[in-house]
Structure 1
Amino acid sequence: MSALKLSRRTWLAQGAALSLAVASPLRTMAQAKATLVLGDQAGGLRSLFEASKALDDAPFAYRWANFQGAAPLFEAQRSAAVDTAMAGDLPVLAAAVGKTPLKIVATRVGKPESLGIVVQPDSPLRHVADLRGKTVIVSSARGSISQYQLYGALEEAGVRRDEVTVKFVLPTDAAAAFASKQIDAWAIFDPYYTIALQQGGRILRDGRGINTALGFITASEHSLADAAKREAIVQFLDRLARAGDWALANPEAYAQAYSQLTRLPIASARIITARASVAGRPVSEADITALQTVADRSARDGILPTRVDVRAITDTQLWKRPA
């Protein structure tokens, strides 16, 4: 069957593998000091750790909780259902505005071409300026990296935001609608972005020159206040750095593990993992500055209802990566 003719059922089947918000079985060892619930998006972190085995023999118990986007993940962190979460720059800020009690504790660096605005292969839309008078679907919710990318692209093209109708739809629902050609233009991030392109979608504009490509690990304030969990989070971050180093040195093994976990084709997995936020490191002053720029611009553009003080939601003392 042609990739362009994949049914809505196929999209939903693939989406289910990426978006089931369920926890994996508890992994533990004798005399574990704490149990962490590790929040994930579309299996990205879990595949990294399972491929690298960086959590093998961890001195804490853990289980995974997987979500299809940042919005439901941060809802879980807000309700103390997860101890840690990983997301791009703007979703972290949106979560802070939404009173999620979190601290940014680590930075991950990816590539800005891992998201973009995609249109149908036969679409008459050839330039961002062609979006005037059109409807663009943004995933996953208000305050996503895709919304920031779309607004940046519109500004670059001289298109006022009120000239475009923006609707917010969760990724798997939007994916099915895009596959059945109910959506003309979709602002989306990996892995859904790569899947759409491999099924015939065409890039209108990607995130290069707009998005920071920074991702962040956040920890809930409740978890950080617990001495045992706080220590476990530090140990988790040490192992995150180790996993990232392994992935950079073993890209094919990482792609294979991601493909197996998500049930995506290996060709898609190779693209997604090659530009994913892999390397983990402590939050730097440059990271805080870059994220503050996103916060200020988002408040200016009305993406966020208020300005976020990035330094106030960042803990730069928790984790100092071992030399």
Structure 2
Amino acid sequence: MIRRIAAAALSLTALIALTACGADSSADASSRQVTLTIGDQAKTLQTIVAASDALKGARYKVKWAEFEGAAPLYQAVQAGAADTGYSADLPALQALSGGVRVKNVAALKNDGRHVGLVVRKDSGIDSVRDLKGQKVVVSSAKGSIAEYLLANVLKQNGLDYRDVQVQYLLPTDAQAAFASGKVKVWATFGVYQAVGLEQGGRLLVDGADGRVSGFGFVNASDQALGDPKKKAALADFLQRLGTALRWTSTHQDAYARAIQTRNGADPSVAKTLASAAYSEVLPITDEVNTTVQGVADLMHGIGVLDPNVDVAKSADTSLLK
């Protein structure tokens, strides 16, 4: 099921989805020429927008760029193959630290339950302290939200990040290794976390109660922000995405059915994902920047985020007030 969700290859051309939607026959010719290429992971935004019909009446087109994880998504943004990125806070920070020319344009918020440390039921690991000396597979790449959860809970339990052996694997590869028993501890997120729990896993800890910030970001390339028509279309898209996320909060059963249909998830996984989705789109405020700066500072301190990022200076607050 996971491999039907993920892209088959990581080349940029193979990963660009050619589905356009949201054109309005009443729009003028110049508006119809505007196409936003929206970066997505595991069809998450596509499913929400399609199920809620959020693009109805939009005077621009949307083309979806589909990726397995944040790292290849931001590679596409850097290469000009996508106008926007979408990720939890730490992957966005990692992209900025690595020189990807983007600005955070909107914050997303959830309760953190979408990210967790999953252990095999026969692992003998019953607490975070039991992780000392263990190998932990982190999905998808260095600087993922799952890695922040790992680092933060180790710190909260008096352990050093060097007390575990970290291995990075893309989610589909990690899922296969976990299901076969080759991996005992998996730091993961979203659909992959849900499937891991169905395939012999047990949740050791998740990101709720402040163990992760709960913030994610939609960001846009400097090139897209420099195009007035694209910038205007993106501002409208953010409003529509906010409407779509509010719809998921009040229509969880319908959203779960959409996940089943579009992502190939089984009913229990779809229900889990529907209940853990981002619930709102927010302007980037001082509170958001301060909270996420704490994430950056922790990960910089253990050498995962280098150089560090000034979160406030990495935002464009003009699109969403």
Partner of 1:25: 19
Q: Which moved more, 1:14-23 or 1:110-119?
A: 14-23
Stretches of structure 1 that go unaligned for 5 or more consecutive residues are 1-12
Q: Is the 8 A contact 1:33 1:228 kept in 2?
A: no
Partner of 2:206: 206
Taking the TM superposition and a 5 Å limit, the aligned residue runs for 1:111-130 are 111-130=111-130
Matched, 1:263 2:264: yes
Q: Is the 8 A contact 2:238 2:320 kept in 1?
A: yes
Q: Distance in 2 between matches of 1:112 and 1:211?
A: 6
Q: Distance in 1 between matches of 2:50 and 2:6?
A: 16
Q: Distance in 1 between matches of 2:130 and 2:7?
A: 32
Inter-CA distance 19–276: structure 2 relative to 1 (3 Å threshold): farther
Q: Is the 8 A contact 1:18 1:262 kept in 2?
A: no
Partner of 2:135: 135
Q: Distance in 2 between matches of 1:311 and 1:155?
A: 25
Partner secondary structure for residue 283 of structure 1 = coil
Q: Is the 8 A contact 2:161 2:302 kept in 1?
A: no
> 1:98 Cα deviation (Å)?
0.8
> 1:79 Cα deviation (Å)?
0.8
Partner secondary structure for residue 56 of structure 2 = coil
Number of residue-to-residue matches in the alignment = 308
CA offsets 1:288-313 (integer angstroms, 9 cap, x no match):
11111111122112120122111111
Matched, 1:57 2:51: no
Q: Distance in 2 between matches of 1:247 and 1:113?
A: 16
Q: Distance in 1 between matches of 2:302 and 2:268?
A: 37
Matched, 1:15 2:3: yes
Matched, 1:152 2:152: yes
Amino acid aligned to 1:84 = T
> 1:29 Cα deviation (Å)?
4.2
Partner of 2:78: 78
Partner of 1:273: 274
Same amino acid, percent of matched pairs: 37
Taking the TM superposition and a 5 Å limit, the aligned residue runs for 1:38-49 are 38-49=38-49
Partner secondary structure for residue 82 of structure 1 = coil
Matched, 1:172 2:169: no
Q: Distance in 2 between matches of 1:317 and 1:149?
A: 31
Partner of 2:307: 306
Partner secondary structure for residue 86 of structure 1 = strand
Partner secondary structure for residue 36 of structure 2 = strand
Q: Is the 8 A contact 1:116 1:193 kept in 2?
A: yes
Q: Distance in 1 between matches of 2:7 and 2:228?
A: 32
Amino acid aligned to 1:288 = N
Partner secondary structure for residue 137 of structure 2 = strand
> 1:278 Cα deviation (Å)?
3.1
Partner secondary structure for residue 6 of structure 2 = helix
CA offsets 1:12-38 (integer angstroms, 9 cap, x no match):
x43232345341322344431411111
Q: Distance in 2 between matches of 1:176 and 1:14?
A: 9
Taking the TM superposition and a 5 Å limit, the aligned residue runs for 1:213-228 are 213-228=214-229
Partner secondary structure for residue 117 of structure 1 = strand
Normalised by the length of structure 2, the TM-score is 0.92
Q: Distance in 2 between matches of 1:33 and 1:313?
A: 29
Partner secondary structure for residue 203 of structure 1 = strand
Amino acid aligned to 1:301 = I
Partner of 1:4: none
> 1:70 Cα deviation (Å)?
0.7
> 1:119 Cα deviation (Å)?
0.9
> 1:187 Cα deviation (Å)?
0.4
